[in-house]
DNA sequence: CCGTTTCTTGCATAAACAGGCAAAACATGC
DNA sequence: GCATGTTTTGCCTGTTTATGCAAGAAACGG
């Protein structure tokens, strides 16, 4: 049994069950618990899972936290990212903006005098845009998921399908040069895919803690990213991997 | 059973029920009550719940700051109306709620422990409902009209057409026994008509200043009103006209 | 007021953990 | 083939963590 083989099986099992037990994996793989622990440590270091006493759980840095707690996290960083992301816009453009606290920060950072057409499935983004006089706002309805703060489901997909946008501000849950953009939720990923399909370019603004992490559901490949907005302290190695796939990197 | 797993289950249960009991959790998890108490203590320290004697409850619901500046007008009256209107509900019902400050007040007045399915095209109503754990929220998307705070247009109509409700909380612009319910905007009236068509009963809560007034666009006849919630000071003559057409009148 | 329940604290135990070490497997260069 | 270096793995050692139990404190309900 190869080390890499075990790693893959651990990832699979984690995606399926949401958790793994060190002892159980050891007997299943026929190796010592020490080896399994080493595996788990490495995968945790790569951000592919979260290590807990007795095993590991899915690497949802914030999946456990509620929306209100998430928005408190790294407020200044997200505001800086938001200002940089807004700089990518020009008047008259049409945008998709999906959920996530970073995207809400972007919505709040928009200047009052810019003319845009924005379609969003995030109530937070929508609320932030209601005050802007020159923004034509299209709300993408559907089943509302409190944990995400967004609408998902077939209604949302149908609404997205009728629209097109110049840019898609993708609220990324996980971002990895090899695995691309990934999401924690199947329905959420579906909506993101639909938005990506109907937009000319994808913009992703992320804090460092989301770089080089991945979630179960794939949204798009890294080569689909046109603009990547990151913190100044983002590891250059990681960024280079995205740049080589065509992404323009912007520092906040 | 991992510690983290228990924590997640506690969070889930808290989101669903709003409270948890230490003893119940202990037997459910198959651990001692001490362990559960330790779990609760940790989660409380992380701000994810509020510890109370015997168990825990959801942490202080954060204030929903929304776009209700104009709703300063007659706040007390609308809150009273809202409380009376909420009394008409029973668990398990499905509702349409459209826009207007009175309907937002009704949404805010809903108790945390009621199970409902609510479809709304008002961002204010939707925001107020996002915190309620037992409410399944369906957002009716479409073109957002800042002046109304609601979504209208063909997308909205299409979404409404796919749904049905027991009650429709109609935010009325004008209400007159002879001319029925009327609205100021054509697109708005269209959505209201669609909601009225797909619901079993219409509920209207109005302040006195809207009684016996009318706007250009007709939504429904006065005979379509099942429940009319009004202030105690509403003129009896006007109310009698509605009652004679089948409306039940409720005083706030 | 008192009895009951619930809570905290301290302690003991067993499990899980990280780090060091050496043997085995593997690759590399001569 | 042989020597050398690297990687992987299991085992050992001391440390940390989770848990249950017991005893005292605090909160609740009459």
Sorting pLDDT into bands at 50, 70 and 90, what band is B132? confident
| Burial classification of residue B236, based on how many CB atoms lie within 10 Å of its CB (0-12 exposed, 13-18 middle, 19 or more buried) | exposed
Residue of B nearest to A134 (CA): B146
CA distance B135 to chain A (A): 10
Decide if domain A67-251 falls under CATH 3.40.50.1360: yes
Q: Which residue of A has its CA nearest to B129?
A: A146
Question: Which pLDDT value is given to residue B171?
Answer: 87
Q: What is the three-class DSSP state of A119?
A: strand
Burial B28-46 (b: 16+ CB within 10 A, else e): ebebeeebbbebbeebeee
- The answer to whether the beta carbon of residue B37 comes closer than 7 angstroms to any atom of strand C is yes
Say whether A64 and B11 touch across the interface (CB within 8 A).
yes
Q: What rounded mean pLDDT belongs to chain A?
A: 87
- pLDDT score at A72: 44
Q: Which CATH number fits domain B70-251: 3.30.565.10, 3.40.50.1360, 3.30.450.40, 3.30.450.20?
A: 3.40.50.1360
Whole-number CA gyration radius for chain B:
21
Strand, helix or coil for residue B152: strand
Cβ of B144 within 8 Å of Cβ of A155? The answer is no
In the predicted model, what is the mean pLDDT of chain B? 86
| Chain A residues within an 8 Å CB radius of B120 | none
Q: What is the pLDDT of residue A63?
A: 39
Contacts of B142 in chain A (CB under 8 A): 138-139, 141
Of B62 and A100, which is predicted with more confidence?
A100
Span B199-212, pLDDT tens digits:
999 999 998 888 88
Q: What is the DSSP string of B1-39?
A: --HHHHHHHHHHHHHHHSEEEHHHHHHHHTS-HHHHHHH
Pick from A15, A49, A11: nearest CA to A189: A15
CA–CA distances in Å: residue A169 to residues A6, A227, B66, B117: 36, 9, 23, 30
pLDDT tens figures, B106-126: 998 898 889 999 999 999 899
Chain B within 8 Å of A32 (Cβ-Cβ)? no
Task: Measure in Å the smallest separation between the Cα of A241 and chain B Cα atoms.
Answer: 34
Grade residue A75 by pLDDT with cuts at 50, 70 and 90.
low
What is the CATH code of the structural domain delimited by A3-58?
A: 1.10.10.10
Of B3, B11, B144, the CB nearest to A126: B144
Question: Does B146 contact A133 at a Cβ distance shorter than 8 Å?
Answer: yes
Residues 67-96/A with CB < 7 A to strand C: none
Residue linked to tokens 């409404």: B160
pLDDT of A74 reads 53
Q: Does A130 touch chain B (CB under 8 A)?
A: yes
Inform me whether the pLDDT recorded for B53 exceeds 60.
yes
Q: Protein A34 CA to nucleic acid C14 C1', in Å?
A: 18
Burial of B232 (0-12, 13-18, 19+ CB in 10 A): exposed
Q: Per-residue pLDDT averaged across B73-88, rounded?
A: 80
List chain A residues with CB under 8 Å of B130: 123, 144, 146, 149
**Domain spans, chain A:** 3-58, 67-251
Instruction: Give yes or no for B137 touching A (CB within 8 A).
Output: yes
Please say if the pLDDT value at position A231 is more than 80: yes
DSSP-derived pairing of the beta strands B135-139 and B142-145: unpaired
- Residue B151's φ and ψ, nearest 5 degrees, are -95, 140
Q: Please answer yes or no on whether A144 and B121 come within 8 Å at the CB atom.
A: no
Positions on chain C within 7 A of a protein C-beta: 5-10, 15-20
- B5 Cβ under 8 Å from any chain A Cβ: yes
Please name the member of A54, A65, A141 whose beta carbon is closest to the beta carbon of B2: A54
> Given this model, what pLDDT does residue B61 score?
39
Residues in chain B: 252
Q: Which residues are registered as beta bridge partners of B130?
A: none
Instruction: State yes or no: pLDDT of B136 exceeds 90.
Output: yes
Spell out which residues of chain B touch residue A149, defining contact as CB-CB under 8 Å: 130
Tell which CATH architecture fits domain B3-57.
Answer: Orthogonal Bundle (1.10)
Cβ of A38 near strand D (under 7 Å)? The reply is: yes
Whole-complex ipTM: 0.54
Model confidence at A6: pLDDT above 80: yes
Q: pLDDT tens digits for B152-198? A: 999 999 999 999 999 999 987 789 999 999 998 899 999 999 999 99
Identify all chain A residues contacting B162, using CB atoms and an 8 Å cutoff: 155
Among A54, A136, A146, the residue with its CB nearest the CB of B130 is: A146
Cβ pair B141:A131 closer than 8 A: no
Q: Do B139 and A123 touch (CB under 8 A)?
A: yes
> How would you classify the pairing of strands B174-176 and A199-205?
unpaired
Instruction: Report, as an integer, the average pLDDT of A125-134.
Output: 86
Closest nucleotide to B3 by C1' from CA: D18
Q: Say yes or no: B226 contacts chain A, CB-CB below 8 A.
A: no
Kindly state the percentage of chain A with pLDDT values over 90. 53
Does the beta-carbon distance from A127 to B67 stay under 8 Å? Answer: yes
Q: How far is CA A217 from CA A37, A46, A142, A144, A172, in A?
A: 25, 17, 20, 19, 11
CA dihedral A231, A235, A237, A243 (to 10 degrees): -10
**Cα-based torsion angle of the residue sequence B180, B185, B188, B189 in order, rounded to the nearest 10 degrees:** 30
Residue A58 sits at the chain B interface (C-beta within 8 Å): no
In 3-state terms chain A splits into helix, strand, coil percentages (rounded to 5) of 40, 25, 30
Does residue B55 lie within 7 Å of nucleic acid chain C, judged by its CB?
A: yes
Q: Is the CB of B142 inside 8 Å of chain A's CB atoms?
A: yes
């Amino acid at each position: 049994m190869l080390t890499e083989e075990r790693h893959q099986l651990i990832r699979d099992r984690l995606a399926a069950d949401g958790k793994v037990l060190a002892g159980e994996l050891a007997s299943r793989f026929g190796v010592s618990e020490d080896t399994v622990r080493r595996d788990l440590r490495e995968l945790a270091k790569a951000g592919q899972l979260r290590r807990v006493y007795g095993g590991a759980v899915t690497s949802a840095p914030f999946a456990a936290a509620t929306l209100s707690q998430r928005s408190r996290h790294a407020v200044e960083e997200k505001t800086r990212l938001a200002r940089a992301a807004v700089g990518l816009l020009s008047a008259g453009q049409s945008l998709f903006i999906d959920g996530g606290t970073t995207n809400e920060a972007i919505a709040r950072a928009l200047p009052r005098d810019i003319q845009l057409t924005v379609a969003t499935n995030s109530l937070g983004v929508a609320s932030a845009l209601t005050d802007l006089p020159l923004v034509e706002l299209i709300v993408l309805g559907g089943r509302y998921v409190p944990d995400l703060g967004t609408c998902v489901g077939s209604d949302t997909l149908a609404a997205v399908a009728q629209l097109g946008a110049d840019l898609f501000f993708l609220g990324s849950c996980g971002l990895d040069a090899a695995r691309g953009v990934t999401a924690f939720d199947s329905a959420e990923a579906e909506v993101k895919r639909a938005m990506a399909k109907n937009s000319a370019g994808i913009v992703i603004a992320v804090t460092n803690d989301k770089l080089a992490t991945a979630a179960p559901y794939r949204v798009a490949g890294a080569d689909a990213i046109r603009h990547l907005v990151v913190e100044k302290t983002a590891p250059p190695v990681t960024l280079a991997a995205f740049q080589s796939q065509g992404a323009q990197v912007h520092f906040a």
